[in-house]
Structure 1
Amino acid sequence: MLLAVDVGNTNVVFALFDGREIKGRWRVATDARRTGDEYAVWLLQLMQLEGFRREDVQHILISTVVPRALHNLKVLAQKYFKQEAMVAGEGVAAWGFEADVDEPRSLGADRAVNAIAAHAKYKGDLIVVDFGTATTFDHVDFMGAYKGGIIAPGINLSLDALVNAAAKLPRIAIEAPTRTKSVIGRNTEDQMHIGVFWGYVALMEGLIARMRAEIGRPAQVIATGGLAVLFGDHTDIFDHVDADLTLDGLAILAERAAQAAA
C-alpha cells in the first residue's frame, strides 16, 4: 500500500491507498518542529485502531509546501516504515508535465499535484480552484500543461485580518448567511457573514469569468479543498467539486514513479 503525505501550510494529511482507493486518512496540524518520533506515536496508533500495520506500507510519497517539515517526515519513513520516501517533484516522482510559466521551479507541490489529478480525471482545459490557507486558481490546458494561475488570500485569512484589525467586530464562523436572504444586513454579525461569504463568492465568480475569457476555449472548473463543498452549494460556477483531488494526484504520481523505477 501507498502512504501519501500531503503537507499544507495548515494541516498535514496522511492517506493510505490500495491502488487508487483511499483506505484510511488522518490529519494533524502542520508544525515544522514536529519530529519523526512524534509523528510515529500519533500515526501508528491511529493506523492500528483502523486495522492497519506499518508492514502494510510498501511505498511513501511526500508532497510538501513547508520545506522545513520534509526532513522529519523522511525520518518517520526511514525509522518506522523502513522506507526511503519519494518526494513529489523530485527524481522518479518528477512532475511529468510542462510548467509553462516564468519560474517553473517556484510552482507549489500542491498545485502541481492538483494539475496531475485534474488532467487525469477530467477533459479539456481546466481551472482548478483549491481552498487552502490561500485560495489558488490554476489553468491546466487540454494537453496537461500548467499555464499559470492566481493566488488570493484564503477566506479564513481574510476573516482573521478583518477581526484582528477592527476591535469591535466579533469572530464569526465561515458559513453561508442563514438568518437573512438579503445582502443588506441589519446587524453587525449578519453584515459580516454577508461580506465574507458572498464577497468571496463574487471574488471567485469574477476571477473565473476573467480566466475563461483569457483562455478563449471552454474550460471546466474543478473545486477542491476544505470549503469547496460549502461554496459549491451556493454557486453554479463549479463543474465538479472533488474533495480528494490532491490525494488522488499523489496516488497517480506514485504509480508513475513506480513505473519509472521499474
Structure 2
Amino acid sequence: MLLVADVGNTNVVFALFDDESGADRRPVRARWRIATDPRRTGDEYAVWLLQLLSVEGVTKDSITRIVIGSVVPRAEHNLTVLAEKYFGITPLFAGQGEAGWGFSIDVEQPSSLGADRALNCIAAHALYEGDLIVVDFGTATKFEAIDFTGAYKGGIIAPGINLSLDALVGRTAKLPRIAIRAPDTDSVIGRNTEDQMLIGVYWGYVAMMEGLIAKMRAEIGRPTRVIATGGLAVLFDRHTDIFDEVEADLTIRGLAILADRIAR
C-alpha cells in the first residue's frame, strides 16, 4: 500500500491508497488528520498512526511506499524518522530528487512554488482537460492558473478566512470570536454584532473569490474550469456557482499520482 502525507501549516493529513494503478481516480482507503507541530517526534507520530492503521485492519508491513509533500521544512526530519524506523522505508519528498514535479513552472521563481500548490496542479491536470483554476482553502487561500498543457502559469495568495477572522478578533477589544459557517439568510445587513461579523467575513470572502476568479478568467482568455479543494470548499460551494468541481482530496491525490509516476 501507498502511504502519503500532506504536511501543511495547520495540519498534517495522512492518507492510504491501495497499491494499484489509476491514482487519479483510485479511492482513498483512509485518511487521518493531526495538527502540524514541527516538534512532534517520529515516535509520537508512530504511536498515533500505528493505532489508526490497526483500526483499519492494516499492518505496517503492508505499507510499501511513502511519499511526503511538505511546506514545513522543520517537520521533515521527524517524518523521515517515522518512515525509516517504523516502516523500514526511505520516504520520497515531493519535488525533490526522483520525485521532481515533471511539469513546467512558468513563473519568475519556480523554486518558490509550495509543494501543496504543485501537487494540486498535478492532480487537477490529471483529472480535467483544458485550462484550469484551482482554489485551495488552507491556512492561506491559493488560486492557481494551469494551462491546457499542464504548465503552472502563476496564481494568487490571499489570507485564509480563519486568518482573517483571527486578525479581526485579535486586534479589537470587544468583538467576539465566532465560528465560520454559512449565514442563515442571504441578507447582507446584519441585525446584531455576530451576524454582522459573519456577513463581513463570509460574504466578503465569497465576493473576493468571485472577483479574483473573474479577473483570472478574463486574463487567461479561454474557457476555464474552476476546481475547489480544501476543508472549507464545500462550505463556500453552497452559496456561489463559481466552482465547476469540488475535489476534497486533490492534494493527497496529487501525491499518489506523483508516486505512480516514480514507480513506472
Residue 21 of structure 1 deviates from its aligned partner by 2.5
**1:209 and 2:214 matched:** yes
Alignment correspondent of 2:131: 125
Residues 29-108 of structure 1: pairs in structure 2 closer than 5 A: 29-108=35-114
Alignment correspondent of 2:9: 9
Q: Distance in 2 between matches of 1:246 and 1:152?
A: 18
Q: Distance in 1 between matches of 2:37 and 2:232?
A: 22
Q: Distance in 2 between matches of 1:102 and 1:232?
A: 32
Q: Residue type of the partner of 1:22?
A: V
Which structure 1 segments of 5+ residues have no match? none
Q: Residue type of the partner of 1:129?
A: V
**1:227 and 2:232 matched:** yes
Residues 156-175 of structure 1: pairs in structure 2 closer than 5 A: 156-175=162-181
Alignment correspondent of 2:196: 191
Q: Distance in 1 between matches of 2:203 and 2:168?
A: 15
Deviation readout 1:161-192 (Å, 9 max, x if unpaired): 000011110111101111x4321111111101
Q: Residue type of the partner of 1:183?
A: V
Deviation readout 1:108-148 (Å, 9 max, x if unpaired): 00000000000000110000000000000000100000000
**1:28 and 2:34 matched:** yes
Deviation readout 1:51-80 (Å, 9 max, x if unpaired): 110011000000000000001101110000
Alignment correspondent of 1:255: 260
Q: State TM-score, norm by structure 1.
A: 0.97
Q: Residue type of the partner of 2:13?
A: V
Q: Distance in 1 between matches of 2:256 and 2:55?
A: 23
How many residue pairs match? The answer is: 258
Q: Residue type of the partner of 2:250?
A: L
Q: State TM-score, norm by structure 2.
A: 0.97
The structure 1 segments of at least 4 consecutive aligned residues displaced by more than 6 Å after TM superposition are: none
Say which is worse superposed, 185-194 or 220-229, in terms of deviation: 185-194
Which structure 2 segments of 5+ residues have no match? 21-25
Identity %: 73
Q: Distance in 1 between matches of 2:133 and 2:187?
A: 30
Q: Residue type of the partner of 1:205?
A: E
**1:114 and 2:147 matched:** no
Q: Aligned with 1:27: secondary structure?
A: strand
Residue of 150, 154, 174 corresponding to 1:148: 154
Q: CA RMSD in A?
A: 0.7
